[in-house]
Structure 1
Amino acid sequence: MERHFCSDNASGVCPEVMNALVQVNQGHTASYGNDALSQTTEMLIRKELGRECAVYFVYNGTAANTLACKAALKSFESIICPDTAHIVTHEVGAPVNATGSKMLTVPATEGKITAEQIRRAYADETYWGPHATRPRLVSITQSTEWGTLYSLEELADIKQACNELNLLLHVDGCRLYNAAAALGCSLAELCEHVDILSLGGTKNGLMFGEALVFFDQSAADGFLHLRKQGLQLHSKMRFISAQFQALFTNRLWYKNAHHANEMAKRLAEGLSQINGIELLHPVQTNQVFVTMPEAMAKALIRAVPFYPNGPALDVYRFVTSFDTCPEEIETLLEAARKEVS
């Protein structure tokens, strides 16, 4: 069976989650989230996130991000986000298509933007008053598209800017667990300043399913209707909620994410010692970005698949998962050493 470093989406389902799916596949129960398991799972997530919030399960991350924007925005309002944000680069314009809202992209440094950049983007856009859009939402990713982290202090600074400007803070948390594991903090600490959260699942061992979490519950007004209209209301909801229950039991989310992070560190250390390969960004979570000659990359991809990171042919991405093994890393490193020799 092929194993590779293309994406944590390529991994299978972790055993605890698969077992939960088998166990819940018994008998009949209420549909559309009205079953007891879905309701107790929502409470379990609220407890882990540390404060009252509304939790809604959806199928995938693009839907979570898009519906977060749709719930928060009027068509004349806009989104401030990094120019590397997934909602800009890899979601086919879905948030803009759904909302009619403009995206105000800010140049990111290693995937991150600052509170001061948010203030400047807001000032530049609102200068023209009713002739321009009204910024309403800031969207950032934790961990970022480059695998880097916003510290708790940076998040607090960003939230302070949002409060000053009457902006909501949305976090794309498809790899939120990796960030918490790397920072050594709880999910509650990591979400302290967040208004709307796209809470990941599939990148951390689920078969399918994400969650959209509204800490600012005023933004969730009408969301039961919006989720249905957005084609994201799963009739057999227990099959999503059972997976999240497994993920949030005995800190399975931490176990999976911590292992993926540790495997990425191991991979990065090995790659950095090979001539011709250089790390592009600090390796803080489960993504490793490097530069290497194209010929070397093509040879390595034949041995253990991974992806180029866009059109720049000398930049490549490796992603580790909950089930990445040291032996797989050594296979890749040995292939790289042979290529150099």
Structure 2
Amino acid sequence: MADAPTVTEQLATDAVRRHDPRVRGFASDNYAGVHPEVLTALALANGGHQVSYGEDDYTRHLQEVFRRHFGPRAEVFPVFNGTGANVVALQAVTERWGAVVCTESAHINVDECGAPERVGGLKLLTVTTEDGKLTPELIDRRAYGFTDEHRAQPQVVSITQTTELGTCYTAEEIKAICDHAHQLGMTVHLDGARIANAAATLGVPLARFTTEAGVDILSFGGTKNGLLLGECVVVLSPERVRGIPYLRKMSMQLASKMRFVSVQFEALLAGDLWLRGATHANAMARRLEQAVRDIDGVTVLRPVESNAVFAVLPREVGERLRKRYRFYFWNEATGEVRWMCSFDTTEADVDGFAAAIAEELASVA
């Protein structure tokens, strides 16, 4: 029998490149490929045999990597994707009659196909906000009826950092939310799909606006910051959480070859790759905002606090522009669009996109 190939061998493949790598888009930071340093880490983890389902050397070491960022009590559970991380995390801090207070624009409410409700069995109590952020006062609009057997019991406050509208909570704002929620007997979950972008914006360590602020459990995003796949559920208050190993398996989020998820997070967090990628993405969004702000026909709606730019432009212009650069209409009724930058967005990408916007608007004029 032939020897198994080693990790250093250059092997042929029948796969064919089926896309043009020169094509760029501003629809989502998920459009970007895998960071080269992450690909290198995956190759390092390949070869030989490792125990499956998280008992491998890489997943064991990952606990220490996360504790450097979130403190000695942090426990990490890798999963496949963000929806899975949110559903597992929320199930672990609620009872069957529990409800979750969140913004109306929250990813768990808008973009997860009802998974928290259908899979997690949770009631979402939503609050309308202008900037995508909760406050203690807004939480009180839905956090009531405790002990009322006719009402789903508010047990969790879920916030997103950065928010779905591109805004960023300060550490003080999150602490105020956590203090208020804990006074009500509630737990705080943080959806951190873009948590690295928030840290880059705030210029503070990850623990400052999570562990130190009082967050109990969070979903840590990796895919939007250069990973192939994978997110993590990070437990910060173990006494408030139960059953994650079982919930992860029951929710179909337990990876058999978990070393290949874990080693990506080691590549991201052991050094400063997480911060480098997020800082660059944020900087490209600011460059884009500056490039389009003075273009007649474009209105930037919100301050750029992460890697997202929200703007309004004529619908017909947006439709033509999308044939050149992919992006999403955020609000079909108003013509609001969302432009996202990634770790691999270049200055040339931004400048080319801004020039295309100006060209399309000029053709209308």
TM-score by length of 1: 0.97
Partner of 2:252: 231
Greater alpha carbon shift after TM alignment, 67-76 vs 287-296: 67-76
**What is the match of residue 78 of structure 1?**
99
Q: Which runs of 4+ in 1 moved over 6 A?
A: none
Aligned partner of residue 288 in structure 1, secondary structure: strand
The answer to whether the aligner puts 1:328 opposite 2:349 as a matched pair is yes
Code of the residue aligned with 1:238 in structure 2: it is R
> How many Å apart are 1:219 and its aligned residue?
3.9
Identity %: 41
SS of match in other structure, 2:26: coil
2:205 aligned with 1:179, yes or no?
no
Counterpart for residue 24 of structure 1: 45
The structure richer in helix per residue is 1
> Partner of 1:169 in structure 2?
188
- In terms of Rg, which structure is larger? 2
| Contact persistence 2:62–2:76 (CA under 8 A) | no
Matched, 1:151 2:154: no
For structure 2, list consecutive stretches of 5 or more residues without a partner in the other structure.
1-20
Aligned: 1:315 with 2:329: no
Q: Does 1:39 align with 2:60?
A: yes
Cα deviation code 1:134-185 (max 9, x no counterpart): 1100001000001101111111110111111010000000000000000000
Is the Cα–Cα contact under 8 Å of residues 119 and 161 in structure 1 kept in the other structure? no
Say if 2:93 and 2:242, in contact at 8 Å, map to a contact too.
Answer: no
Distance 1:319 1:108 in 2: 21
1:246 to 259, 262, 267: 267
Cα distance in 1 for residues equivalent to 2:62 and 2:149: 44
C-alpha contact (below 8 Å) 1:74/1:99 kept by paired residues: no
Q: TM-score, normalised by structure 2?
A: 0.90
Which residue of structure 2 aligns with residue 213 of structure 1? 234
SS of 2:183's partner is helix
* 2:14 equivalent in structure 1: none
Following superposition, the deviation at residue 313 of structure 1 comes to: 5.0
CA deviations over 1:41-66 (Å, ceiling 9, x no partner): 12111111234121100000000001
Unmatched 5+ stretches in structure 1: none
After superposition, the C-alpha distances for 1:240-298 in whole angstroms (9 at most, x for unaligned) are 01100000122110000000000000001111111110111111000111000011112
The one of 327, 341, 356 equivalent to 1:306 is 327
CA displacement 1:60-106 (0-9 Å, x = unmatched): 00000011111111121111000110000010110111232211101
**SS of alignment partner, residue 289 of structure 1:** strand
> What amino acid sits opposite 2:76 in the alignment?
V
Letter in 2 for 1:146: L
Does the CA-based 8 Å contact 1:73-1:99 persist in structure 2? no
- Pick from 172, 183, 189: which aligns with 2:208? 189
Q: 1: distance between equivalents of 2:337 and 2:71?
A: 37
* C-alpha RMSD of matched pairs (Å): 1.2
Alignment equivalent of 1:5, drawn from 20, 26, 47:
26
Counterpart of 2:6 in structure 1 is: none
